[in-house]
């Protein structure tokens, strides 16, 4: 974990209000998919960093991609920075996805929703290298919000859903997942609260099902207790998402 100024190599609006940035920095060496970075907003009056998932990692160029949806003033300000400018980044943070137990030809289900999709692309890249078989179900609000469809198609079998039916299957990812019967060696999900909650319950007893959670953060490194979630089982315990997450086993915490 380090703090450094990273150069923006690339910044492009890839969907309405969704920007893809490529950042270059030393910390890339230490990154694994599922971790996140904590980006300082380049505006003096906004103090809190913004947690953003690492999408894909390129060890060769020492760079990584993030996909940021402009949601408020902070993400707007970050996304308004041009290539060549720098951002103050703290990272990599959190635990990342565990894939150590997987073997070639294992079957994996990947479930993403909206702006939760990007970190799954980095994961899928890694799984692809390991020769894992992937079913990938991605849900978006509308056709315009779809990202990384092509990239995922190169890595596995992709199904897209849209909330309004403007592309792919009409409905939530659950519409698709409820029809899947194949047992999977692992399940990885990242998306809005509803999606995470659904996976958390549906695959509660699966030995290798994971969800990646979001919460408002202060420090990002386990010092302030802003970002907690509660353990599912007694004795009651609060877990810091920034430090012990953002990836949790299903059934581990309450979503």
Partner 1 sequence: MNRLRVKLPGLDLKNPIMPASGCFGFGGDYGKLYDLNLLGAIMVKATTLEERYGNETPRVAETPSGMLNAIGLQNPGLEDVLNEKLPKLMKYDLPVIANVAGSTEEEYIEVVRRISQAPNVHAIELNISCPNVKHGGIAFGTDPIVVERLTRACKDVSRVPLYVKLSPNVTDIVEIAKAVQRGGADGITMINTLLGMRIDVKTRKPILANLTGGLSGPAIKPVAVRMVYAVSHAVDLPIIAMGGIKTVDDVLEFFMAGASAVAIGTMNFHDPMILPKLIDQLPRRMDELGISSIEALIQSVKEARAHE
Ligand X SMILES: Cc1cc2nc3c(=O)[nH]c(=O)nc-3n(C[C@H](O)[C@H](O)[C@H](O)COP(=O)(O)O)c2cc1C
Closest CB to ligand X among residues 2, 224: 224
Q: Shortest approach of ligand X to residue 240 CB, angstroms?
A: 12
Closest CA to 91 of 72, 112, 64, 115: 64
- Of 62-70, 180-188, 216-224, 229-237, the segment contacting ligand FES by CB under 6 A is 216-224
| Footprint on residues 99-138 left by partner 1 (CB under 8 A) | none
Q: What is the DSSP letter of 115?
A: G
Residue 12 buriedness (CB in 10 A; 0-12 / 13-18 / 19+): exposed
Q: Is 219 in the site for ligand FES (CB under 6 A)?
A: yes
- State which of positions 14-53 bind a second copy (CB under 8 A): 43-46
Residues that bind ligand X (CB under 6 A): 218, 224
Place of tokens 């995470």: 196
51 binds partner 1 (CB under 8 A): no
Supply angle C-alpha 148, 153, 154, rounded to 5.
Answer: 105
Answer yes or no whether residue 68 interacts with ligand FAD by CB under 6 A.
yes
Distances in whole angstroms, Cα of residue 236 to Cα of each of 6, 187, 230, 239: 40, 26, 7, 10
- Using DSSP bridges, classify how beta strands 228-230 and 18-24 pair: parallel, antiparallel or unpaired: unpaired
Region 214-233 residues binding ligand FAD, contact defined as CB under 6 A: 214-217
Binding site for ligand FES (CB under 6 A): 217-220, 222-227, 240, 242
Binding site for a second copy (CB under 8 A): 43-46
């Amino acid at each position: 974990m380090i703090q450094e100024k990273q150069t923006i190599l690339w910044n492009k609006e890839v969907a309405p209000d969704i920007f893809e940035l490529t950042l270059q920095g030393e910390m890339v060496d230490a990154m694994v998919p599922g971790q996140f970075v904590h980006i300082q907003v380049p505006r003096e009056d906004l103090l809190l960093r913004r947690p953003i998932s690492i999408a894909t990692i390129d060890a060769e160029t020492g760079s990584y991609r993030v996909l940021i949806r402009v949601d408020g003033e902070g993400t707007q300000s970050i996304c308004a920075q041009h290539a060549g400018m720098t951002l103050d980044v703290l990272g990599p943070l959190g635990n990342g996805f565990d894939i150590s137990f997987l073997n070639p030809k294992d079957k994996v289900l990947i479930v993403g929703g909206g702006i939760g999709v990007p970190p799954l692309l980095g994961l899928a890249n890694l799984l692809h290298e390991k020769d894992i078989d992937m079913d990938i179900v991605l849900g978006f609000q509308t056709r315009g919000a779809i990202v990384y469809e092509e990239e995922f198609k190169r890595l596995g079998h992709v199904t897209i859903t849209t909330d309004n039916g403007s592309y792919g299957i009409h409905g939530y990812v659950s519409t698709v997942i409820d029809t899947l019967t194949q047992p999977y060696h692992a399940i990885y999900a990242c998306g809005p609260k509803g999606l995470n909650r659904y996976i958390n319950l549906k695959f509660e007893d699966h030995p290798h099902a994971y969800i990646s959670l979001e919460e408002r953060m202060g420090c990002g490194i386990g010092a302030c207790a802003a970002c907690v979630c509660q353990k599912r089982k007694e004795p009651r315990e609060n877990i810091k998402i920034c430090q012990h997450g953002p990836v949790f086993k299903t059934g581990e915490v309450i979503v």
